[in-house]
Homo-oligomer: A and B are copies of this chain.
Amino acid sequence: MNPDLHTWATDLSDLYAQVWARLVRGVRDRRAPTRHPTLATVTPDGKPQARTVVLRAADKPTGILDIHTDLESSKVADLRATPFGALHVWDEAAHLQMRLEATVTVLTGSDVAALWAGVPDASRQSYGSLPAPGQPIAQALDYAKQPDAASFAVLRLTVQTLDALHLGAHHRRARFDRDADWAGTWLAP
């Protein structure tokens, strides 16, 4: 599609709405680029890390996103040391890069029991494994999935800033801040 037909990229509030519409779509549409963002964190020794995650909830009114993870994964250790995450999505069809900065809370146990109840059996394979994710093993398949509610964690991202970059004949970039009630500002791209 010709990116110059993306008229939503020329207006701050339309651009903001477009980003959230795509985030919300990612929760239910496996083929949407927003389904699989990249989550960047900072390790306990202060280095960057990034991995693909699955977007499980997106709520525009509150500016909150959910990601599910194994409690033993290294991103949980990262977030307990530095409770900030950066979420990144490149949406090729929209010619749109979305970058979100968020504070992150790690929810576990009784706080996520209701969400765990809603996780399909097949998906529960992703939470709980022996040994834990990232541990060395002698052969590639020397691990067992052991679905376990105690290994289920929800990363709750409270979005603080949203940076949107649209690549067209002329690039356009804007930043939206929670502190400014999501009023946007154009930035040099």
Q: Bound complex: CA of A40 vs CA of B53, how far in Å?
A: 15
19 CB contacts below 8 A, A to B, read: A10-B140, A38-B40, A38-B50, A40-B48, A40-B49, A42-B47, A47-B82, A48-B49, A48-B84, A48-B86, A49-B86, A52-B90, A52-B97, A130-B188, A135-B187, A136-B187, A137-B187, A140-B174, A143-B188
- Number of A interface residues in the complex (CB < 8 A): 48
Query: Do A46 and B46 contact each other (CB < 8 Å), given the known contacts A137-B187, A186-B140, A187-B135?
Result: yes
What is the interface of chain A, defined by CB distance below 8 A to chain B? Answer: 10, 36, 38, 40-42, 46-52, 82, 84-88, 90, 97, 99, 101, 129-143, 170, 172-175, 185-189
Point out the residues of chain B lying under 8 angstroms from A97, CB to CB. Answer: 51-52
* Contact indicator A82/B46 (Cβ below 8 Å): yes
* Contact indicator A186/B142 (Cβ below 8 Å): yes
Smallest CB–CB gap between A137 and chain B, Å? Answer: 5
Which of A48, A97, A170 counts the most B-chain CB atoms under 10 A from its CB? A48
